[in-house]
Amino acid sequence: MNKSIKTELEDIQKELVKNGISRREAIKLFAASGLLMTASSHGEAQTLNASSLNAKIVIVGGGLAGIATAARLKSMASSLDITLIEPNLKSATYQPGNTFIGAGLYQKSDVLYNTVDFLPKEVTFIHDKVIDFYPENNQVVTSQKEVIGYDFLVISAGMVLDFEKIKGLEELQEMYTVDESSKINDFFKNTMVSTVYNVNSAEQTWKNMQTIMEEAKKGKALKAIFTHPNTAIKCGGAPKKMMYLMNARLEEAKVRKNVELSLYAYPSKMFAVKEYEEAIIKQYEKRQMLWHLNHNLIELNLKDKIATFDKSWQEKGEYDEDLEEYEMIEKHEYVDIAYDFMHLTPPMKAPKEIAQSEVASANGWIPVNQETLQHVKYPNIFSLGDIAAVALGKTGGSVRKQYKIVANNIISAIKNEELQDKYDGYTVCPIITVIGKVMLAEFDWSMKPTPSFPLDPTQERYVWWLLKAYLLKPMTQYGMLSGKI
């Protein structure tokens, strides 16, 4: 760990010198928000040491959220009996790196980790999948029919890609981001469609991008489109990141003028926070990138390379004299768009075994108190990460806040104390605007910028590229996965 962090910091120093930025100044900025950790630091969790607490805790899902929570709890009270259940032996992947794979900056091997390598000591690992939940009996059942009881349950199972919602892609059914089967690449072979929301398809995205660049060099006029569905998704900024990165790669190849870049997104805004939306629009205009809002992909003709979108808008209906306002009527129109390259952001949802269980809400997510992350019906169940029904928070940056709150509140619950820790909705989205610059979009429930640093958060900066390209990965590996930051 020490060697890895030292190497990363040395790389940063070289980059800073090359670009005329003071290393001391940059590190002050990182340290100001606690984002820069040192190899010798054990973090806040060590000082919390809750003595000799006895409880059996089961964690469903061994990704970043699940492992970080297990590590945090163990560091706070080593006496806890913790079991983590996860079907994927590569679940502890560094998912933010998928955009880098899609742009040719990372290899797949750069983001995949062995789950057991990051499993906290004295945590029992069950390589299986939970398929049934019996909250009234405090039990879960695995696919191997093993019945496991608990005092407290943490659900951090993530979400799945729901290809079935798009006509023409039903064969792909449901899939996880870290599903390593070749199925997705076989299905999209020679179609110029791919997605960085699957680790194998992220590799194919870069291959497709290179193909487009070669075709553009021949003088062909080409169209690349990027989609954003009408469901919740992991990292809402990723579709735009891939568009920015393709723009950068086309500029490098000196063929940008031959490729039209267009975003087709269901949301009615480019970004939920006004200040960041205004900045993104200016960036799009400067780069001559196009965007079309209120467009939801509903069908894909892979053979003819035609994408069909449901375009929606509001029109005034009859005037209501009592309310003194017009009735608003939603209108729809199907729009066919031809493409030569597509980055697809699939619809996403909760896994079926969770969505159809007693612990889920009507829409499939785990209903929790937005602040304490405690289940609204079962007080001994907590949830975090993508699967939790939290208005904001389907990012790794949000999990960095959430797992500490879940761990601390479980300790309080074991001690029969009031839950004190509260999630403020913090979300961070490092939007890569060009290879070498990032806009660090941070916000919370207020839906206003909440920068951790004394800098204008709407500006693209090289220093945030250093954070994204060099620090976030070791922070995840040696900080979050160890429950320390």
Q: What is the pLDDT of residue 46?
A: 45
Tokens of 168: 């023409």
Q: What pLDDT, on a 0 to 100 scale, did the predictor assign at position 36?
A: 44
The span from the first CA to the last CA of the chain, in angstroms, equals 15
The full set of domains in the chain, from first to last, is 40-159+351-431+470-480 (3.50.50.60), 162-348 (3.50.50.100)
Closest CA to 482 of 149, 6, 39: 39
* pLDDT at 325 (0 to 100): 87
Task: Please give the chain's pLDDT, 485 residues, in tens.
Answer: 455 555 655 666 666 667 666 666 665 555 544 444 433 333 444 444 555 799 999 999 999 999 999 999 999 999 999 999 999 999 988 999 999 999 999 999 999 989 999 999 999 999 999 999 999 999 999 999 999 999 999 999 999 999 999 999 999 999 988 877 789 999 999 999 999 999 999 999 999 999 999 999 999 999 999 999 999 999 999 999 999 999 999 999 999 999 999 999 999 999 999 999 999 999 999 999 999 999 999 999 999 999 999 999 999 988 888 888 888 899 999 999 999 999 999 999 999 999 999 999 999 999 999 999 999 999 999 999 999 999 887 999 999 999 999 999 999 999 999 999 999 999 999 999 999 999 999 999 999 999 988 889 999 999 899 889 888 888 888 889 999 88
Query: If DSSP codes are grouped into helix, strand and coil, which group holds residue 204?
Result: helix
- Per-residue pLDDT, 381: 98
The CA distance from 481 to 485, in Å, is 9
pLDDT of amino acid 52: 74
Q: Strands (DSSP E) along 357-426, which ranges?
A: 381-383
Distance CA 149, CA 142 (A): 11
Q: What is the pLDDT of residue 16?
A: 65
Place of tokens 């951790």: 452
Contacts of 247 (CB under 8 A, 6+ apart): 256, 261, 287, 289, 434
**The model's pTM:** 0.90
Q: What is the DSSP annotation of 4-53?
A: HHHHHHHHHHHHHHHTT--HHHHHHHHHHTT----TT--TTHHHH--TT-
Residues paired with residue 337 on neighbouring β-strands, in sequence order? 307
The enclosing H or E element of 329 equals strand 325-338
Question: What's the farthest any 2 CA atoms get from each other in the chain?
Answer: 72
Write down the pLDDT at residue 40. 33
Cα 8 from Cα 463, distance rounded (Å): 14
**Amino acid letter at 245?**
L
Is the separation of the CB atoms in 213 and 125 below 8 Å?
no
**What six digits make up the tokens of 25?**
């100044």
Contact criterion met (CB below 8 Å) for 340 and 193: no
Computed over its alpha carbons, how large is the radius of gyration of the chain?
A: 23
- Cβ neighbours of residue 215 under 8 Å, at least 6 residues apart? 222, 340
The alpha helices in 358-434, defined as continuous H runs, are 396-414
User: What does the alpha-carbon distance between residue 411 and residue 108 come to, in Å, rounded to a whole number?
Assistant: 37
- Spatial distance between the Cα atoms of 91 and 62, rounded to a whole number of angstroms: 6
Task: Kindly state the tokens that stand for 268.
Answer: 């009615």
pLDDT at residue number 139: 98
Cα 261 to Cα 248: distance, rounded to the nearest angstrom = 11
Q: How far apart are CA 74 and CA 118, in angstroms?
A: 13
